[in-house]
Structure formats: structure tokens, C-alpha cells
Amino acid sequence: MTVVEPEAPAGSFADLLEGTPEALTASAGGASQKVELFAQGASIGYLGEDSGQWCIVTSSDAAISVTPYVYGGVLYYRNAADSSRYLSVSDGSHYVGFYNWIGARGWTLNGNVLTSLYSNAQLSYWSSDNGYVYANDSSGYTPLTVAFH
């Protein structure tokens, strides 16, 4: 079996998820924190965001802070710098990005493993050259663990 690197996403995360049918309202949250990412026990950087709203691995200085929210018994994460954008997962290769509440996806946090309820996979990445963050457990993706700071 040949493992092929996923193509970079076209357009912004908002373009991809526009028209998602879920419509909910936000609830109260907790303290905002940066998310440090680990691959095989070693820190690879922090959760960040590019200009297209896709999540990338970045430095601590460029990291996005997130605020946890629980709504209807489901855990969500909001971008602390923009209260209208929530951690979400795309179709296809399951890129992670920030989108409005309509496209928000739920998460579970079990110890240091953050798993998407949409793709049923923990955070992952393809390579340091690629730099994008996924919620994809397919062959070729490296599972990531997290620490909140």
C-alpha cells in the first residue's frame, strides 16, 4: 500500500464549511490556554492558525489560545482571540481549523488525547514540512497528544 501526502486545502476553512446545517448557540466557557502538541512524547510546537483559518503547528509566540465550552454535554473549543470561531474538522482529509458556531465540531479530552467527535480520530499531523493539524487516524498520520498551558 502506498501512502500519499494529502493535498493542501484550497480556499479557507470558512469556504469549506459554509452551509453546514447545524445551528446552535454558545454557552459559558472556562479559562483560555495555549495547546502544546506532542508527537511520540516530544514537543513539536503549539496549535496555531494560518491566514486561511486552518490549524498549523507553530511557535509558542504565535500560538492560538482556546477556551473550552460545554454545550448539550459536548465539549467544544473556541478561539480566545475571536469568540465567534470554534475548533472544527473538515470533510475529506479531516483538516482542523477554526470556524463559526454553525460549523463547530465536538471533542473529547481523555488525559492528553484530544479526539474529534466528527472524525473519531485524535489530533494528528502529516509532517513538519506539511505543518497542518488534522484529526485523521489513517496510515501516514502521526497521532498527537496535547498539554494545555
Mean pLDDT on 117-133: 95
What whole-number distance in Å separates Cα of residue 38 and Cα of residue 94? Answer: 19
Q: What is the pTM of this model?
A: 0.81
Q: Domain spans of the chain?
A: 28-148
pLDDT grade, residue 24 (50/70/90)?
very low
Size of the chain, expressed as the number of residues it contains = 149
What whole-number distance in Å separates Cα of residue 91 and Cα of residue 109? Answer: 21
Sign for the CA dihedral angle at 93, 99, 104, 109 comes to positive
- Do residues 28 and 75 lie in contact, with contact meaning Cβ atoms separated by under 8 Å? no
CATH of 28-148, one of 3.40.1410.10, 2.80.10.50, 3.40.1380.10, 3.30.200.20: 2.80.10.50
- Residue 46: per-residue pLDDT: 98
Mean pLDDT on 20-26: 39
pLDDT of 13 > 80? The answer is no
What whole-number distance in Å separates Cα of residue 37 and Cα of residue 47? Answer: 7
